[in-house]
Amino acid sequence: MATTGVFNGTNLLVKVIGAGGTLATIGHTTSCTMSLSHDLPEATTKDSSGYAEYISGVRGGTISFEGLVAYDDSANAEEIIGYVTGRTKVDWSFGTSATGDTVYEGEGFISSIEVSAEMESPVSFSGEITITGAISSSTN
C-alpha cells in the first residue's frame, strides 16, 4: 500500500550500482536529497509588451547523500570511490521501498565523494551523483 500522509525520512532510500548491475541501497545513509533544475533561457523581444518571456531549456539534477562508513555494506563508501576512480556510469534510484510509492530512476556519475574521520567519532561520508539523461518514474 502506498505511503499516506507525512512520512519519516528514514524511509527514503538512494540505491546505486555500476550500470547494468543490481541496485543496492547505499548503506548507513543519514540523509539524501534529489535536486532537479530546469534552465529557462530568456526569449523576450520587442513584441513581449514589456514582459519577460522564457522558453524551456535543458533539465538536469543531482542526488546528494551522507552517511556512516561500514565497509561490509553492499553499496559502501569504498565501492563509490571506485566509481569515481573508474569513471563509471551508475544506475540510481530514489524513493521508498513501500509498495505503491513513486520511485525515480536514471543514470549518472558520482561527481564527488568525501570520507571524513574525526577523533572518537564514527567515520562519515558524503557524495553526489550528477544525473545524465532522462529521469523515469514508476511505482514499487
Residue 73 placed within a domain: yes
Q: Work out how many domains the chain is built from and give that number.
A: 1
Range of the structural domain that residue 79 is part of: 10-38+55-139
User: Phi and psi for 14 in degrees, rounded to 5?
Assistant: -110, 125
Residue 47 placed within a domain: no
| Sequence-distant (≥ 6) Cβ neighbours of residue 129 within 8 angstroms | 14, 16, 62, 63, 64, 65, 90, 92, 108, 109, 110, 111
pLDDT in tens, 41-66: 999 999 999 999 999 999 999 999 99
Task: Name the residue among 96, 91, 94 with its Cα closest to residue 106.
Answer: 91
Residue 11, pLDDT above cutoff 90: yes
Find the CATH number of the domain harbouring 71.
2.30.110.20
**How far, in Å, CA of 29 to CA of 113, rounded?**
13
Element (H, E) at 78: helix 77-85
Residue 44 placed within a domain: no
Q: What pTM was computed for the model?
A: 0.92
Mean pLDDT over residues 63-74, rounded? Answer: 95
